[in-house]
Amino acid sequence: MTICNQDENMVFFMENGAVDTYALTATSAAVNHPVTELQNTSRRLTWRSTSLAANTITGNWTTPITPEANLRGRKVGIVFINHNFPKNIAGDYTNINVKLYDSTLTLRINENFTGVNFSGMGYKEETAIGLIRPYKNRVIYIAGATEFDLRRCEITLTGVGALAGVTNWEIGRLYVGPIFQPADNVYWENDKLGAVDDTRVSFSRGGDQFSDYGSKRRGVYLEPPASLVTQSDISYWMYLIHVIGSRTPIFVDVHPRIAGDFGPSEISEAYLNLLWQVYGIANNNIRFGRRASNVMSVTGSMQIVEQA
């Protein structure tokens, strides 16, 4: 029931009512790291378990969560942001079990997912990717889950193997909900990756340079395709730009892929998949124009800057 490969269109995670609207529980929580931190928009404030024993995060709602009408019919996605799941190396990995229940508490989805293996890469490539924190996002896509209203969600983390260097589970932000996957994709040459550096540089009268170091974050710059936005996507784009806007962080997976591993011949795909996943605020400079009764033209660009 999983979807997505390197040929899939980009994905926007906008609605997170299933996590943010109602109380969550967890098997355990360390001091100063309660499970409510998963509802905080900051990626730095984390839920942390007390050990590597199996831990279940549960959302159990008194009334079902109906997927947002604008997004109904889209696939459901789950994102773990700023997590500490180890890489899948030598049989050591995190097993993620996802259970979703409908309004009658009937189990509708029961799927297992594991970590992604990067051991086939060379040290230089693995280090370069690691410096930009891509391992800290884990995306799961599930088809068919928007066919029912969500009443209960159970996500169980279980360690397999030694998990060297890891003593507990830790997650900064959790998304569970429907996704927006445009029918008209952004062309690969129109999805630039850059850095937003808040460092301020000044010079003394004598010409000496001083740097007041600020944060450095990733930024993804998207230009909608030159082709027209079709009828099926117009309402979703409008919702993203005019309702979500820049008030709430979103998660964007520009080159979605679910894979068991990235081998030496797939380094470029690993970069595309991992580095082009960004959780942050969207700054929009997109303009629509009416071209026909069921299509619109699009100009401008969208910048997603990584959330602190």
Q: What angle do CA 161, 273, 287 make, to 5 degrees?
A: 145
CATH code for the domain of 99: 2.60.120.260
For residue 262, what are the domain limits? 188-306
Same domain, 52 and 143: yes
Asked whether residue 5 carries a pLDDT value surpassing 50, the answer given is no
Same domain, 62 and 91: yes
pLDDT tens for 45-82 read: 999 999 999 999 998 887 777 655 445 555 678 888 88
pLDDT band at 262 (very low <50, low <70, confident <90, very high): low
Asked whether residue 147 carries a pLDDT value surpassing 80, the answer given is no
Same domain, 43 and 74: yes
Domain boundary among 147, 180, 213: 180
Q: Which residue has the higher pLDDT, 171 or 194?
A: 171
The number of folded domains in the chain is 2
Mean pLDDT of 239-265: 74
Q: What angle do CA 181, 184, 187 make, to 5 degrees?
A: 105
pLDDT tens for 105-138 read: 999 889 888 765 554 555 555 566 555 555 577 8
Same domain, 46 and 158: yes
Per-residue pLDDT, 275: 78
CA–CA distance, 194 with 202 (Å, rounded to integer): 23
Per-residue pLDDT, 246: 85
Same domain, 156 and 16: yes
Asked whether residue 244 carries a pLDDT value surpassing 80, the answer given is yes
Per-residue pLDDT, 3: 38
Per-residue pLDDT, 239: 83
Q: Is 119:89 a contact under the CB 8 Å cutoff?
A: yes
Q: Specify burial of residue 45 (Cβ count, 10 A radius: 0-12, 13-18, 19+).
A: middle
Per-residue pLDDT, 135: 53
* Listed residue (94, 99, 306) closest to 218, CA to CA: 306
Mean pLDDT of 232-237: 78
Q: Indicate the range of 11-20, 70-79, 259-268 predicted with least confidence.
A: 259-268
Per-residue pLDDT, 11: 86
In a domain, 140, yes or no: yes
CA–CA distance, 278 with 219 (Å, rounded to integer): 8
pLDDT tens for 22-52 read: 789 999 999 999 999 999 988 889 999 999 9
Mean pLDDT of 132-154: 72
Q: Is 179:252 a contact under the CB 8 Å cutoff?
A: no
Consecutive H or E run containing 123: helix 123-131
Per-residue pLDDT, 56: 96
pLDDT band at 171 (very low <50, low <70, confident <90, very high): very high
Asked whether residue 170 carries a pLDDT value surpassing 80, the answer given is yes
Per-residue pLDDT, 111: 87
Same domain, 213 and 245: yes
Mean pLDDT of 84-91: 68
User: How many CA atoms lie within 13 Å of 199's alpha carbon, on the beta-carbon side?
Assistant: 10
Same domain, 210 and 168: no
Same domain, 100 and 122: yes
pLDDT band at 260 (very low <50, low <70, confident <90, very high): very low
Q: Which residue has the higher pLDDT, 131 or 156?
A: 156
The set of long-range contacts for 112-115, using a CB threshold of 8 Å and a minimum separation of 24, is: 113/2, 113/140, 113/258, 114/88, 114/160, 114/260, 115/85, 115/86, 115/87, 115/88
Which residue type does 145 have? A
Mean pLDDT of 79-93: 75
How many Cβ atoms are within 10 Å of 167's Cβ, its own excluded? Answer: 12
Domain boundary among 180, 202, 217: 180
At residue 124, φ and ψ (nearest 5 deg) are -65, -45
